[in-house]
C-alpha cells in the first residue's frame, strides 16, 4: 500500500515529550526541567497589557522588540540574533537549512533526543559518537565525522555536565560545518560559550526562555551568531514565527535579569542541598551545571524507583535505554518539593 508520507517520515519515530499531566493535577513535576518558580512579575504585567491592536496585526517578522531586549542584555548587535518559537525551532531551522543526505548531523551521545528526530525528518545522515569516560568530548571523532551541523548541548542533558570552552573552540576551528552550542541550561551554569561567536564564524549558540526564565509555555528561544551565518536561517524560518504575545512577554522577562538571577540562584542552592541528600541515600550524584541532577540508583533499579515515585505523585525522567537505565534525571524543584521527593525515596531505595 502506498503511504501519504515520505519514506523518512514513515520510518521515523516521533519525538516523545516528557509526560505533561493536566494543570491542577496534584503532582510534583520533576521530569521536564521546568523552573519551579513563576515567570517574572514584569512579564506577567506585559501579558496583562496586550491590547486588541497588537493581536489584530501581524507581529514583527523578526520579533524586534525581543531582539532589542536580548541585544541590550548581552551587549550584541541586533543582527547577531535570531528568534525562534522555542529554541527547538532554532535547532529545526538549522537542520532544514544545512543538513541532508551526504551532509550529516553529528553529535556526541547521550544528549538531547530532538537532534535525532529532526535529522530523521529532514532526512539527513546522522552520526552519533559516544562521549568518552567521564564525558570526555570525542573531539577527533567529531571532526572526522565532518558534519554539516555538529550539535553540542553544553550544559548537556541528561548528563548535566558542561563542555569547556577550549574544547569547543578547538572543535569550531577544525570543523568545516556549523557548530551549534545548545545552551538551554546556561542560566544554571558557571560559564558560557557566548564569547566564541566573536571569533568563530561557524558557531551558533542557542538559548531558551523555557528553563531559566520559567516560560516553557510561551515557546521562545533565540540563536546568536555572526550575521552571515544567520542570513541563511532567516530564509528558512516561518515568516511570522513569533507571536505578538510571546514577543511582548519575552521582552519584559529578558529585561528583568534581576528576577531571573534570583530564581536561578535559588535553584542552584536547592540543587546543592538535594545533591547532598541524595548522596546520603546512596545515589551517585555527579556535579550538575543545570537545573536537574542525573543520578545513579544505589541498586541499579531505576525503573522501579521511577514507577514507585509516580505512585507517590512525583514524576521524574527515566530513560529506558542501555547505559541510562540505571539512572534518573530529576529536575530540581523548590526545597519543599525536593523534601517530598526525598521522603518518598527513603521508602523506595
Ligand atoms: C529544554 C531543551 C531545549 C528546548 O527548549 P525550548 O526552547 O523549550 O524549545 C533545547 N535543548 C535542550 C538540551 C533542552 O534541554
Give the DSSP letter string of 75-119. Answer: T--GGGEEEESSHHHHHHHHHHHH-BTTB-EEEEES--THHHHHH
**Residues of the chain under the 70 pLDDT cut:** 1
> Of 198, 227, 256, which residue is a domain's last?
256
Give me the CATH number covering residue 191: 3.40.640.10
**Residue 337: Cβ within 10 Å count:** 18
Together in a domain, 149 and 292: no
Asked whether 153 lines ligand 1 (CB < 6 A), one says: yes
Q: Which of 87, 108, 156, 189 to mutate to test the pocket of ligand 1 (most atoms within 8 A of CB)?
A: 87
Q: Give the whole-angstrom CA distance, residue 152 versus residue 70.
A: 22
Together in a domain, 193 and 48: yes
Residue 91 alpha carbon, nearest atom of ligand 1: 10
Together in a domain, 71 and 54: yes
Together in a domain, 251 and 263: no
* Residue 157 CB burial class (10 angstroms; 0-12, 13-18, ≥19): buried
Distance 208 CA to ligand 1 centre (A): 7
Give me the CATH number covering residue 328: 3.90.1150.10
Together in a domain, 124 and 195: yes
Q: What b-and-e string marks burial along 300-324, b requiring 16 or more CB atoms within 10 Å of the CB?
A: eebeebbebbbebebbbbbbeeeeb
Residue 292 within a domain = yes
> Of 256, 277, 293, which residue is a domain's last?
256
Distance 52 CA to ligand 1 centre (A): 31
Residue 47 within a domain = yes
How many independent structural domains does the chain possess?
Answer: 2
Q: What is the pLDDT of residue 1?
A: 64
Together in a domain, 122 and 191: yes
Together in a domain, 170 and 289: no
Together in a domain, 151 and 243: yes
Asked whether 182 lines ligand 1 (CB < 6 A), one says: yes
Domain that holds residue 163: 41-256
Quick one: cell of 164?
Answer: 569547556
Together in a domain, 249 and 269: no
> Of 193, 222, 256, which residue is a domain's last?
256
Three-class SS state of 222: strand
Residue 2 within a domain = no
Residue 36 within a domain = no
Closest CA to ligand 1's atom 2: 184
Together in a domain, 293 and 192: no
Distance 34 CA to ligand 1 centre (A): 10
Together in a domain, 165 and 18: no
Residue 25 within a domain = yes
| Intra-chain end-to-end CA distance of the chain, in Å | 50
Distance 111 CA to ligand 1 centre (A): 11
Residue 133 within a domain = yes
Together in a domain, 100 and 229: yes
Asked whether 88 lines ligand 1 (CB < 6 A), one says: yes
Residue 308 within a domain = yes
Residue 265 within a domain = yes
Angle between helices 64-74 and 244-255 (to 10 degrees): 20
Q: What is the pLDDT of residue 299?
A: 84
Amino acid at each position: 500500500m502506498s503511504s501519504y508520507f515520505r519514506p523518512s517520515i514513515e520510518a521515523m519515530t516521533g519525538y516523545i515529550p516528557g509526560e505533561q499531566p493536566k494543570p491542577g493535577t496534584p503532582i510534583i513535576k520533576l521530569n521536564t526541567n521546568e523552573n519551579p518558580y513563576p515567570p517574572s512579575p514584569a512579564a506577567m504585567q506585559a501579558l496583562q497589557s496586550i491590547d486588541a491592536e497588537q493581536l489584530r496585526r501581524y507581529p514583527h517578522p523578526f520579533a524586534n522588540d525581543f531582539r532589542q531586549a536580548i541585544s541590550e542584555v548581552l551587549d550584541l548587535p541586533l543582527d547577531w540574533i535570531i528568534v525562534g518559537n522555542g529554541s527547538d525551532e532554532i535547532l529545526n531551522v538549522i537542520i532544514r537549512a544545512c543538513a541532508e543526505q551526504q551532509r550529516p548531523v553529528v553529535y556526541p551521545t547521550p544528549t538531547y533526543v530532538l537532534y535525532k528526530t529532526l535529522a530523521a525528518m529532514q532526512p539527513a545522515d546522522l552520526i552519533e559518537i559516544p562521549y568518552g569516560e567521564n564525558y570526555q568530548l570525542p573531539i577527533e571523532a567529531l571532526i572526522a565525522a565532518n558534519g554539516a551541523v555538529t550539535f553540542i548541548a553544553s550544559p548537556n542533558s541528561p548528563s548535566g555536565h558542561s563542555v569547556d570552552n577550549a574544547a569547543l573552540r578547538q572543535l569550531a576551528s577544525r570543523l568545516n560545518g556549523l557548530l551549534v552550542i545548545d545552551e538551554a541550561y546556561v542560566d544554571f551554569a558557571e560559564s558560557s560559550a557566548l564569547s566564541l561567536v566573536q571569533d568563530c564564524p561557524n558557531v551558533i549558540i542557542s538559548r531558551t526562555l523555557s528553563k531559566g526564565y520559567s516560560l516553557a509555555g510561551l515557546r521562545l528561544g533565540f540563536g546568536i551568531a555572526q550575521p552571515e551565518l544567520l542570513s541563511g536561517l532567516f530564509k528558512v524560518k516561518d515568516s511570522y514565527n513569533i507571536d505578538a504575545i510571546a514577543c511582548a512577554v519575552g521582552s519584559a522577562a529578558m529585561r528583568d535579569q534581576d528576577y531571573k538571577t534570583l530564581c536561578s540562584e535559588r535553584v542552584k542552592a536547592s540543587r546543592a542541598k538535594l545533591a547532598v541528600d541524595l548522596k546520603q541515600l546512596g545515589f551517585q550524584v555527579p556535579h550538575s551545571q543545570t537545573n536537574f541532577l542525573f543520578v545513579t540508583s544505589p541498586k541499579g533499579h531505576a525503573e522501579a524507583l521511577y514507577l514507585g515515585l509516580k505512585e507517590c505523585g512525583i514524576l521524574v525522567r527515566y530513560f529506558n535505554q542501555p547505559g541510562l537505565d540505571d539512572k534518573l534525571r530529576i529536575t530540581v524543584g523548590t526545597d519543599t518539593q525536593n523534601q517530598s521527593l526525598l521522603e518518598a525515596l527513603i521508602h523506595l531505595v
